[in-house]
Amino acid sequence: MARKDHVSETPATQLLKRHGVAFVPLAYEYLDHGGAQHSARVLGLDPHAVVKTLVMQDQDARPLLVLMHGDCQVSTKNLARQIGAKSVEPCKPEVANRHSGYLVGGTSPFATRRDMPVYIEDSILALPLIAINGGRRGYLVQIAPQVCVELLGAQSVNCALPLE
């Protein structure tokens, strides 16, 4: 169920405002394990334009962020090859929370606790607008995808696979 109530600022929205980035706040009723599919459904958005922020790590446990379409998953093999890593895997939730400073399900790529390289699925950059987590469970912000490159230095990769 979409919510119209006010969502207080998060480190992510503060960073966007500081940089003069226009965004549309989108609040919704959070559902444990609902993910991008749930938020897209309740907000009436295309899941392809809802971007999930995934905290992953390489073979040396160095963290990285991957921005992926809500209706896709990451080919860790393709990602590892493109970024020059031996392997890449998702972080355990408690490790992801520690690296990002956000709770899993509310992870924004903006204003993370730790600086991490950010990789964005190439086809996301072709979309006119994306909805990405605003730093709290049940809260997305709609922005131009190019903001991820401009503010985060996100590097384009091609590692999307359809969801199973």
Dump pLDDT digits (tens) for 25-44. Answer: 999 999 998 999 999 999 99
Phi-psi region of 148 (alpha: psi -120 to 50; beta: other; left: phi over 0): alpha
Sequence-ordered list of residues with C-beta below 8 angstroms from that of 91, at least 6 positions apart, any chain: 55, 56, 57, 63, 99
pLDDT of 6 over the 90 cut:
no
Residue at 39: amino acid letter: S
pLDDT score of 163: 87
For the chain, the average pLDDT equals 95
Calculate mean pLDDT across residues 6-35. 92
Q: How far does Cα 41 stand from its chain's mean position?
A: 17
> Sorting pLDDT into bands at 50, 70 and 90, what band is 1?
very low
Query: What CATH superfamily is the domain 2-162?
Result: YbaK/aminoacyl-tRNA synthetase-associated domain (3.90.960.10)
pLDDT cut 90: percent of the chain above it = 93
pLDDT score of 8: 75
Q: CA–CA separation, 48 vs 21, rounded Å?
A: 22
Q: Where are the domains of the chain?
A: 2-162
Q: CA–CA separation, 155 vs 118, rounded Å?
A: 6
**Positive or negative torsion for Cα 55, 113, 97, 44:** negative
> Sorting pLDDT into bands at 50, 70 and 90, what band is 2?
very low
Residue at 127: amino acid letter: L
pLDDT of 5 over the 70 cut:
no
> Sorting pLDDT into bands at 50, 70 and 90, what band is 3?
very low
**Positive or negative torsion for Cα 164, 79, 33, 139:** negative
111-161 residue pLDDT tens: 999 999 999 999 999 999 999 999 999 999 999 999 999 999 999 999 999
Phi-psi region of 49 (alpha: psi -120 to 50; beta: other; left: phi over 0): alpha
